[in-house]
């Protein structure tokens, strides 16, 4: 069986990372798997980047695809009309796959109308809500994906041409005869959203959590991990991600961290006070909410990321909407408890007061209390062991790869 995973990138963003980890898991099982991308950043021999001509077409398509957004405002922070794309069909046909596995394919990689013409049965993993929405990737409070895109239920903040409705109508028309398609949601929350949607309510929908290599992401000696990264050995450390886009996206909740850290600082003994540790392309500065912040910058390998997780006492995720975040399973696999808002699929990952803390959505005080509770816990080893056990049980990459392999085989029967 020859499986072709399709993703905009092999390393940029959570969807790309999840897809590349699945690629490795499938290869480990003996599946003849490859990954087709628009932007290849890694040296992975099974990842296929575009040739010069395809690269030129896809770069142009990425810019052209956003032109309709000048005619009308979409409520989401990021939108994809999907009206123009690169030569995806030709690139897929060149690989002669038995199964095509779509991941995040926006940004000019694919045209809505071209997807049903893929030359093999398809699996589509929903890393966000775009597939069953209009142009938006996150529905927020809108119910248009459930009710249909009508003039009367357009979000109040939208103006001009209804790009969301135009995109959704094109999906509805062109995908109605797309028979050889199975939908996979990483979280039960996303699966339920897809089942409620007008576009996918009659589709086959499975839930398969993303996975990771639990031999790389594993508990390590905390002091040795800190020494390797040049971190203070005796302070309590709080880890969080600082991707560039997260600062401009309200749903990522980074704007809440100064208040969270300020409340935590007031609740904790002053000596020694905890410190925050960020990773990602953008440094948040030397302090947030009166709490000192150190930045690790970009962690360019899973090994470095796992080392950073293992060095810390707790991971905090302030997102207000999430699917099944990689960062939570990464921390848990390293034996680190997580404090996060109970949104999306996050509640499926964390068991409140057993391996972490689920705060009320948007409640900075409750999230701060969760951090305090974890940092002051009399038996932090028990929390870490429970987190590790959950990751091994639910998020091992071998488990995810086996379930996908079984799904591929079932579709090909």
Give 152's contacts (C-beta < 8 A, 6+ positions apart): none
**Where do runs of H (alpha helix) occur along 109-210?**
144-147, 163-175, 188-196
Per the CB < 8 A criterion, the answer to whether 115 and 58 are in contact is: no
> Would strands 204-207 and 275-279 be described as parallel, antiparallel, or unpaired?
unpaired
Are the C-beta atoms of residues 37 and 4 closer than 8 Å to each other?
no
* Ordered domains of the chain (ranges, CATH): 2-211+396-412 (3.40.50.2000), 222-394 (3.40.50.2000)
CA angle 323, 12, 371 (to 5 degrees): 50
In sequence order, what are the residues at sequence separation of 6 or more whose Cβ sits closer than 8 angstroms to the Cβ of residue 245?
252
Q: Distance between CA atoms of 332 and 250, rounded to whole angstroms? A: 25
Comparing CA positions, the residue from 389, 375, 218 lying closest to residue 305 is 218
Q: What is the pLDDT of residue 294?
A: 86
| Percent composition of the chain: helix, strand, coil (DSSP 3-state, to 5) | 40, 15, 40
Residue 157: its pLDDT value, please? 84
**Residue in the block written with tokens 């290869």:** 27
The structure's pTM equals: 0.93
The list of the chain residues with pLDDT below 50 reads none
């Amino acid at each position: 069986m020859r499986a072709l995973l399709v993703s905009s990138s092999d390393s940029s963003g959570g969807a790309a990372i999840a897809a590349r980890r699945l690629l490795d898991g499938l290869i480990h099982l003996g599946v003849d798997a490859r990954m087709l991308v628009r932007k290849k950043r890694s040296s992975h021999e099974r990842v296929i980047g575009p040739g010069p001509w395809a690269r030129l077409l896809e770069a142009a398509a990425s810019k052209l695809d956003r032109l309709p957004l000048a005619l009308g405002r979409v409520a989401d922070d990021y939108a994809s009309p999907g009206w123009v794309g690169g030569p995806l069909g030709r690139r897929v046909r060149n690989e002669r796959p038995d199964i095509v596995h779509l991941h995040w394919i926006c940004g000019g990689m694919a045209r809505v109308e071209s997807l049903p013409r893929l030359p093999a049965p398809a699996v589509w993993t929903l890393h966000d809500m775009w597939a069953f929405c209009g142009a938006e990737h996150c529905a927020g409070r809108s119910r248009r994906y459930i009710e249909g895109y009508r003039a009367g239920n357009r979000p109040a903040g939208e103006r001009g041409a209804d790009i969301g409705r135009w995109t959704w109508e094109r999906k509805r028309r062109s995908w109605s005869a797309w028979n050889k398609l199975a939908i996979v949601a990483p979280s039960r929350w996303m699966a339920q959203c897809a089942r409620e949607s007008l576009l996918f309510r009659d589709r086959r929908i499975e839930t398969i959590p993303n996975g990771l290599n639990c031999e790389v992401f594993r508990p390590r000696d905390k002091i040795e991990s800190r020494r390797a990264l040049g971190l203070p050995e005796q302070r309590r450390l709080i880890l969080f991600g600082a991707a560039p886009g997260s600062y401009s996206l309200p749903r990522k909740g980074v704007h809440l961290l100064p208040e969270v850290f300020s409340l935590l600082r007031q609740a904790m003994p002053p000596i020694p006070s905890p410190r925050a540790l960020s990773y990602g392309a953008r440094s948040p500065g030397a302090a947030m909410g009166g709490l000192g912040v150190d930045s690790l910058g970009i962690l360019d390998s899973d090994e470095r990321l796992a080392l950073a997780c293992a060095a810390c006492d707790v991971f905090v995720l302030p997102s207000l909407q999430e699917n099944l975040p990689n960062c939570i399973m990464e921390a848990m696999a390293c034996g680190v408890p997580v404090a996060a808002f109970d949104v999306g699929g996050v509640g499926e990952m964390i068991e409140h007061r057993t391996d972490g803390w689920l705060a009320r959505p948007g409640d900075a005080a409750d999230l701060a209390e969760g951090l305090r509770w974890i940092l002051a816990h009399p038996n932090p080893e028990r929390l870490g062991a429970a987190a590790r056990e959950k990751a091994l049980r639910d998020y091992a990459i071998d488990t995810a790869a086996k379930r996908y392999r079984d799904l591929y085989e079932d579709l090909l029967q």
